[in-house]
């Protein structure tokens, strides 16, 4: 037996063991169940120390349709928006909502724009958020930040007198609004006062806002400039001089958590158009689990049918392909958990489709292999030539699929992106599975003694 074959067999054993270990990583719950049973039967409690829990051994991240969550539909008020700008306004609205829910830790939110007749709607799906009221507050809550300059003393007295006599209402007698508000905010950060160590809010305006702030502070030197949030005064520092650079600071009695929450709300941005909710629905976890069970059942059934066909039609190479596909599944699921990828029904569909492409690559290789055998080549030469001839077809088909997945991910909505991501990852790993894993396993069997078992390498009803 040649040293090359021996080397390939060692590599094959390594790949097989690595695939098993990765499989344990993919499904730690099954490993942990085995450890529990061993500890129970043996009476050795320390066996449970081998259980895989936390960190990278967490469960897969699931989307709304599999995990449960909240489904909301909003209608946008675009009556004051020019018809040519409605599409851009809705795109901006979608971006703000996505940014807002991401800041609050909602994974892979689905935010889509839909036009129905003359009305524009925004569809929002939040996986893992079971409280609809919390979700509505999360979407619609927009902090209104504004700066107000101090009124002259005489004007303040007049407004207070008018309010006392019932002539005016809902007018701030002490401060008058300025054009500067949260619309011009570039970003905000949590800062800490050097003296008191209390948290403060640092504000950075865009170029237009910085110009306004410089002009306002220039004309209010020695006066108070109040900062209001949602109509309530937060602080009213005295302006010591003209401030350039577009930076301001909100001081108050914030706790660190309150400051962090406020910064998140400010950074999420104001909604570019008004919206109101027209439909709300809570997707129960039980429905998600039922959908997940059906998806996994369909994927497993499809894999078993394909595996049976490969073994019956391609015999020993088919068995090798099934083993390579099993390792392929382990590696892909490992990557899904490592990134992590949020799995939805669309994502699972992309994974199953990539599995079919991995099978297709093996079929191309084995068909080329069979053709070389029929031409009179020995098993070793036929296997080498089969892989060489099949590679260009595999490469071209997979590259075209990767280009398609890339375009879908770039231009698609969140659901389509999930499908494109799992498909792209699956296609990349399928190339490795077919060209490296299947090749290594097959070549490790190509010893001279295998010539007598030539029939195991033919396919279908061939002899």
What are the backbone angles phi and psi of residue 151, rounded to the nearest 5°? -75, 155
463, pLDDT greater than 50: no
**Which is more confident, 394 or 133?**
394
The tally of domains found in the chain comes to 3
pLDDT at 90: 86
Residue 39 vs residue 433, higher pLDDT: 433
- Judgement on whether residues 231 and 102 belong to the same structural domain of the protein: no
Average pLDDT, the chain: 80
CATH code for the domain in which residue 425 is found: 1.20.1640.10
Q: Is the pLDDT of residue 312 over 80?
A: yes
Is the link from the previous residue into 95 a cis peptide, with omega within 30 of 0?
no
- Greater model confidence, 349 or 30: 349
- My answer on whether 138 and 158 are in the same domain is no
pTM equals 0.61
CB-based burial label for 79 (10 Å; 0-12, 13-18, 19+): exposed
Q: Do residue 237 and residue 361 come from a single domain?
A: no
Is 76 in the same domain as 158?
no
Domain assignment present for residue 201? The answer is yes
CATH at residue 127 = 3.30.70.3400
Cα–Cα separations (whole angstroms), residue 386 to 272, 315, 361, 392, 432? 59, 16, 12, 11, 16
Q: For residue range 337-381, what is the model confidence (pLDDT) as tens digits? A: 888 887 888 888 898 888 888 888 888 888 888 888 888 787 778
What are the pLDDT digits (tens) for 168-223? 666 888 899 898 887 788 888 888 888 878 888 888 888 998 999 999 999 989 89
Over 70: is that where the pLDDT of 116 sits? Answer: yes
Provide the domain limits for residue 224: 145-268
Looking at the fold, whether 356 and 437 belong to one and the same domain comes out as: yes
Strand-strand pairing, 110-116 and 119-127: antiparallel
Q: Are residues 257 and 397 in the same domain?
A: no
CATH of the domain at 257: 3.30.1360.200
- One domain, residues 349 and 447: yes
Are residues 311 and 426 located together in one domain of the fold? yes
Q: Specify the higher pLDDT residue, 447 or 156.
A: 156
């Amino acid at each position: 037996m040649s040293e090359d074959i021996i080397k390939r067999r060692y590599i094959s054993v390594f790949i097989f063991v690595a695939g098993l270990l990765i499989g344990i990583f993919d499904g730690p719950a099954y490993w942990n169940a085995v450890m529990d049973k061993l500890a129970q039967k043996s009476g050795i409690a320390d066996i449970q120390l081998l259980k895989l829990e936390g960190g990278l051994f967490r469960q897969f991240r699931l989307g709304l349709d599999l995990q449960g969550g909240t489904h909301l539909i909003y209608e946008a008020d675009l009556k004051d928006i020019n018809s040519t700008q409605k599409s851009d306004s809705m795109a901006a609205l979608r971006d703000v909502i996505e940014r807002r829910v991401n800041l609050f830790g909602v994974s892979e939110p689905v935010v889509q724009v839909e036009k129905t007749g003359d009305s524009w709607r925004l569809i929002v799906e939040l996986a893992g958020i079971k409280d609809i009221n919390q979700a509505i507050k999360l979407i619609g809550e927009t902090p209104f930040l504004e700066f107000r300059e101090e009124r002259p003393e005489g004007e303040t007295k007049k407004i207070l007198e008018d309010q006392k006599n019932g002539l005016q209402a809902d007018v701030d007698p002490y401060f008058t609004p300025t054009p500067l508000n949260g619309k011009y905010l570039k970003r905000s950060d949590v800062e800490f006062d050097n003296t008191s160590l209390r948290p403060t809010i640092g504000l950075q305006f865009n170029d237009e806002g910085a110009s306004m702030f410089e002009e306002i502070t220039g004309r209010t030197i020695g006066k108070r400039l109040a900062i209001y949030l949602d109509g309530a005064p937060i602080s009213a520092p005295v302006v010591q001089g003209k401030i350039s650079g577009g930076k301001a600071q909100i001081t108050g009695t914030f706790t660190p958590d309150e400051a962090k929450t406020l910064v998140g709300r400010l950074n999420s941005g104001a909604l570019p158009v008004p919206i109101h909710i027209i439909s709300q629905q809570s997707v129960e976890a039980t429905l998600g689990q039922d959908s997940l069970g059906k998806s996994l059942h369909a994927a497993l059934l499809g894999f078993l049918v394909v595996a049976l066909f490969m073994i019956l039609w391609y015999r020993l190479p088919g068995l090798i392909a099934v083993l390579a596909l099993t390792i392929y599944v382990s590696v892909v699921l490992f990557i899904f958990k490592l990134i992590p990828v949020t799995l939805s029904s669309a994502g699972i569909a992309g994974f199953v489709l990539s599995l079919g492409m991995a099978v297709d690559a093996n079929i191309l290789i084995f068909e080329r292999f069979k053709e070389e055998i029929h031409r009179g080549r020995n098993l070793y030469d036929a296997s080498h030539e089969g892989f060489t001839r099949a590679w260009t077809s595999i490469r071209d088909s997979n590259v075209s699929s990767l280009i398609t997945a890339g375009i879908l991910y770039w231009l698609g909505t969140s659901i389509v992106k999930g499908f494109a991501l799992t498909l792209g990852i699956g296609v990349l790993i399928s190339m490795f599975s077919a060209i490296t894993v299947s090749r290594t396993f097959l070549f490790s069997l190509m010893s001279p003694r295998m010539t007598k078992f030539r029939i195991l390498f033919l396919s279908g009803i061939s002899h």
